Amino acid sequence: MGASKSEAFTDEQNEISILFKALGHPARIAIIQFILSSKSCICGDLVDVLPLSQATVSQHLKELKSANIIQGSIEGNSICYCLNTNTLEKFKSIISDFINADNCAKNECC
């Protein structure tokens, strides 16, 4: 054993966890921060800025892309990556649901 038993959970639980997992690595947080802070958002810059090889950066970008957290469009012989606002809003809504449904205070159990 060792594989995540994803088939034993609901689609919603899997989808939410995939979103969070995609941001569960410091390199991918650094990528998000760099995209936010830079005026352009071309991958070449990332390779210069991050302490990782070009192959590894490309792999992290792929993971962010497959979770729909970033999206890219071709620009000449480089790729422009930007954040996907819809996915960020989904994060916000998931967290808000958690906060709104929080029942700790009314149970006085912690």
Partner DNA sequence: TTTTATTATCGTAATATTGCAATATACAAA
Partner DNA sequence: TTTGTATATTGCAATATTACGATAATAAAA
Instruction: Spell out, one character per residue from 4 to 23, where the chain touches a copy of itself: x when CB under 8 A holds, - when not.
Output: xxx-xxx--xx-xxx-xxxx
Nearer to DNA, 56 or 96 (CB): 56
Q: Which partner from the list a copy of itself, DNA, none does 59 bind, CB cut-off 5 to 8 Å by kind?
A: DNA
- Closest approach, Cβ 105 to DNA, in A, equals 21
Q: What are the two backbone dihedrals, phi and then psi, of residue 83, each rounded to the nearest 5 degrees?
A: -75, 150
What are the angstrom distances between the C-alpha of 69 and each of 42, 61, 103, 110?
16, 10, 30, 35
- We find the least distance from the C-beta atom of residue 7 to a copy of itself, in angstroms, to be 9
Site for DNA in 38-77 (CB under 7 A): 42-44, 47, 52-56, 58-63, 72, 74, 76-77
106 burial level (CB within 10 Å; 0-12, 13-18, 19+): exposed
If one asks whether residue 86 binds a copy of itself (CB under 8 A), the answer comes out as no
**Separation between Cα atoms, residue 13 and residue 32, nearest integer Å:** 24
Q: How far apart are CA 56 and CA 59, in angstroms?
A: 5
Report, in Å, the least distance between residue 67 CB and a copy of itself.
Answer: 10
